[in-house]
A and B are shown apart, each in its own frame.
Chain A
Amino acid sequence: MTLVTDAVTQEYQRAAHQRSRVLVAAGLALLLGVLLDAATGPAFLPIGQVAQAVWGEAQDASVHAIVWAIRLPVALTAVAVGAALGLSGAIMQTILNNPLASSYTLGISAGAGFGASLAIVLGIALPLPESYAIAANAILFAALTCAGVYWIGGARAASAEGLILAGIALLFLFQALLSGLQMIASPESLQQVVFWLFGSLQKSTWPKLAAVVAVLLLCVPFLVRDLWNLTAMKLGDARAAALGVDVRALRLRSFVLISMLTGVAVAFVGTIGFVGLVAPHLSRMLVGEDQRGFLPTSALLGSLLLSLASVASKTIKPGAVIPIGIVTALIGVPFFMWMVVRHRRSYW
């Protein structure tokens, strides 16, 4: 008996150690990513000048402006948006118990894209300044899509399969609507739509960053409260219910969080699809299913991925900035495949 408990304790301690090692390593890598992000850009500033500007001691007003008005908002927005996407993907994969679930595959990003295009092409938007009107539309339609997925999928007791099918149906619906909008769009707004869909961190500002961070912080207490319930969900609906989890209510709560996280992330930087799918998978490979480790690691890896993509988008072709959505996929896919192939033990 003691032997068994000892083995369990040991295994638990091993997992806990692994978790903290991964968190520390990812945290350090992220810090490096942010520093690199702040240090690179088409102006080719010497790194010493950038560092001086970061500590608020820039000798040159233009260096100060480049670092504080352009590079730091971009670098930190990459972190915040990456975290939001990683987190929303992780929650989604958990509550739907499905490895393909992400805000991208379930149509939430497509919904947001349609909302944004509606504002760009037809000017149908809430009465806000232009840069926020597009974002507000994206958030609104991300929320509507989430509600739609929940409502349609929920018709059959909110089963995971029902929700996934509803999401995929909505993905196609919004893609078709988006194509329709692109068809009637004038060339100039079409271009704007295309660039919006590519995704870009270059429009990051401090107020927009604050909005993303605020939503992230708002979500944390709710997630902390549901950590154990979410962990139980991975055993399947029936077992989770047997453990006393109100599956339906938990899914609803999670969907609200997902729509907020995805909406605000996508709203300001466009559809960066891949992060939300990959970060949770990497996280699961590294720390396993325990949501106490899984959720923060997913967020951290999401940030790391996007931060590195941001650096790459500026350095692949020096002097130019390649849209972040394209770079994310180009970098993320090979990395992801490598992880899947290398990881012999089945983790899902």
Chain B
Amino acid sequence: MTHLFNRMFRFVLCGLVLLGTLQAFAATTEVVDAIGRKVRITTPVQRVVLNFNFEEFTAVAGKEGWTKVVGISRAPWEGWRPVIFKRYSAVIPNLQAMPDIGNSDDGNFSAEKVIALKPDVLFIAEWTYKSLETARAQIESAGIPILVIDYNAQQLERHLASTRAIGKVMGNEARAEELASLYEHEYKDVLARIAKAGGASNKKVYVELGQAGPDTVGNSYSGTMWGKLLTTLGAVNVADGKLTGPWGPVNAEAVIADNPDLIFIAGSSWINKPKAVKTGYEATPDITRKSLEPYSQRAGWGSLKAVKAGEVHAIEHGLCRTLFDYVAMQYIAKQLYPEAFRDVDPEAAFRSYHTKYLPVAYSGTWMLRLKP
């Protein structure tokens, strides 16, 4: 009798333990996202849909994290940064044939596709979240939690919160914490060096998107992207007060009249843009210089201080508004305050970020001065 009782007891105990582990296995976790929303997510997640910030996701969740990704917005990665996408799809097996959920900028973001993929969580960039009021209500009505990620705000807190949120959802909290502290350290270090150097520089800086070639005046930025970065670094942004929105082309005449001390042309690996400034994994310094040279030969640019001093630079557009944008900060700050950043090597910093956190190897040219 006692024997039977013992067996029953053991059986019940086993059951309880099993139940306990199962519950630990599928617990509801409350995650605070980049804009402070508290989102309840059943973790660990098995199916993930990703709308943006693919490289940040990779850094935090690793290559292994991608085995859980069942859909992405392809256009912002494959379309905007084709060479980077190609590099990643060479090492992430399911990326090449990844289902597409569309892109809100192109007006084809599909809530229906997101729901049909049955994800446990949808990571969504703040700009997508903001523009899709109806779609997000539809997605939430299917019981799919939406987690907002925001590196585009270029605010330290949002960078850190986004990184930690990805880590918490994907079960990579330690790595997320490591990345967050790295970012916070480097970000604060840049600002500390500037403060030590005596604060804001009076140097005038002009940034232009070098996508369409020197014959077209490309977009410049004010208060966002490179514009925000310049302001953070204490430079005088030529585009400030000259644009109707956060970005747009500055009148060619105004640039010459302002006579900037430094010029940065943002390049990338766009396809079908033969005259674009070429930077990124596949660009050699020669290729980058050759594509940058014609910009310095624009009408009227020969007399600019920046051109005369050889201070025309190419910088990869995809460095902006990322978890590794401290690299771009270091590079631009180094040109503004050469003394204070003498021992800072942005290229080495980016190389080391690749080695430690990314599944693709560092290569190519990301930031370069026109005159060697």
Contact = CB atoms under 8 A, between A and B. Distances in A.
B361 interface: no
Contacts of B100: 319
A204 B138 CA distance: 10
B272 interface: no
A106 B217 CA distance: 39
Interface in B60-118: 100, 102, 105, 107-108, 110-113, 115-116, 118
A3 interface: no
Contacts of B133: 130-131, 203
Which of B137, B244, B246 gathers most chain A CB within 10 Å? B244
B143 interface: yes
A69 B137 contact: yes
B23 interface: no
Contact of A320 (B105, B108, B111): B108
A187 B222 CA distance: 13
B116 A45 contact: yes
B138 A65 contact: yes
A interface: dominant SS: helix
B299 to A, nearest CB: 25
A45 B107 CA distance: 22
Interface string B131-155: 1011101110111100000000000
B44 interface: no
B245 A42 contact: no
A9 interface: no
B108 A66 contact: no
Contact of B112 (A42, A131, A186): A42
Contact of B245 (A41, A188, A198): A188
A281 interface: no
A64 B118 CA distance: 12
B248 interface: yes
Contact of A192 (B110, B131, B141): B131
A192 B141 CA distance: 25
Contact of B143 (A45, A65, A203): A65
A323 interface: yes
A69 B141 contact: yes
B125 to A, nearest CB: 13
B247 interface: yes
Chain A, interface size: which category? Answer: 35 or more
A103 B110 CA distance: 30
Contacts of A131: 133-134
Contact of A186 (B111, B135, B246): B246
A321 B110 contact: yes
B105 A65 contact: no
Contact of B115 (A70, A202, A321): A70
A320 B137 CA distance: 20
B107 A200 contact: yes
Given A131-B133, A187-B248, A202-B134, A66 B112 contact: yes
A65 B114 CA distance: 11
A205 B134 contact: yes
A42 B131 contact: no
Which of B110, B112, B139 gathers most chain A CB within 10 Å? B112
B308 to A, nearest CB: 32
Contact of B142 (A62, A184, A320): A62
Which of A43, A45, A200 gathers most chain B CB within 10 Å? A43
A189 interface: yes
Interface string B229-255: 000000000000000111110000000
A321 B244 CA distance: 32
Contacts of B247: 186-187
Interface string A195-239: 100101011110000000000000000000000000000000000
Interface in B298-340: none
A68 B138 CA distance: 9
Interface residues of B, number: 29
Which of A42, A43, A192, A205 gathers most chain B CB within 10 Å? A42
Nearest to A183: B244
B83 to A, nearest CB: 24
B61 to A, nearest CB: 24
Contact of A198 (B107, B115, B118): B107
A51 B142 CA distance: 18
A85 B141 CA distance: 30
B245 A321 contact: no
B245 to A, nearest CB: 2
Interface in A19-44: 41-44
Given A186-B247, A191-B105, A65 B137 contact: no
Interface string A47-90: 00000000000000110111011110000000000000000000
A185 B245 CA distance: 7
Contacts of B137: 69, 205
B108 A62 contact: no
A79 B150 CA distance: 39
Contacts of A71: 112
B142 A321 contact: no
A71 B112 CA distance: 8
A195 B107 contact: yes
A71 B138 CA distance: 10
A60 to B, nearest CB: 8
A41 B113 CA distance: 9
B333 to A, nearest CB: 28
Interface string A168-188: 000000000000000011111
A66 B118 CA distance: 11
A191 B108 CA distance: 13
A244 B113 CA distance: 58
B142 A69 contact: yes
B151 to A, nearest CB: 17
A61 B107 contact: no
Given A130-B133, A187-B245, A187-B247, A70 B112 contact: yes
B142 A65 contact: yes
A41 B143 contact: no
B337 to A, nearest CB: 32
Contacts of A45: 116
Given A130-B133, A203-B133, A205-B134, 17 more contacts: A41-B112, A42-B112, A42-B113, A42-B116, A43-B116, A65-B138, A66-B115, A69-B137, A70-B111, A70-B115, A70-B138, A131-B134, A187-B248, A202-B134, A202-B135, A319-B100, A321-B108
> What are the 3 closest A-B residue pairs judged by CB atoms, nearest first?
A186-B245, A65-B142, A43-B116
11 contacts: A42-B113, A65-B143, A66-B112, A69-B142, A70-B111, A70-B112, A131-B134, A185-B244, A187-B247, A188-B246, A192-B131
